[in-house]
Amino acid sequence: MRKSLTIFTDGACHGNPGPSGVGAVILNDKGETIKNISEYIGETTNNVAEYMALIYGLQEALILRAGEVIINTDSELLAKQLKKEYKIKDPGLKILYRQIMHLLGGFDKYEVRHIDRSQNKGADKLANKAVGQESLF
């Protein structure tokens, strides 16, 4: 049986558009953190940062050979677009959406949850830390 992982993702953007970072926290089925991701992704919008954070998280979950993932995001837009409750109008987001759907095809099962920002502090901290790393590039 392949493992089940829980992913918390967040994108941060200082200015919109502006310097951006992604953060993801991946937990095993016991609720233990097994991976933290914090990456600077350049100048972009907050919505692109949210999408990219999920892409980073899903790629890592596939590397970890997860069969199931529970995705937690505080981005209402991302959650509702993934659930097909909101249409995607932005051409750039459509490309990222297709990439996410492709990655999700690698899992036996997935669930998308929209959570309150207060429940997403770990991923938020990692995303903001990544924006602070902009000067390294």
Per-chain mean pLDDT for the chain:
96
Domain ranges of the chain: 3-136
Residue pair 7/57 in contact (Cβ under 8 Å)? The answer is yes
Picking from 47, 58, 59, the residue whose alpha carbon sits closest to that of residue 112 is: 58
pLDDT digits (tens, 9 = 90+) for 28-60: 999 999 999 999 999 999 999 999 999 999 999
For 39, residues 6+ apart whose C-beta sits below 8 A from its C-beta are 21, 22, 56, 130
pLDDT digits (tens, 9 = 90+) for 75-123: 999 999 999 999 999 999 999 999 999 999 999 999 999 999 999 999 9
Q: Catalytic residue numbers?
A: 10-11, 50, 74, 114, 124
Fold of 3-136: Nucleotidyltransferase; domain 5 (3.30.420)
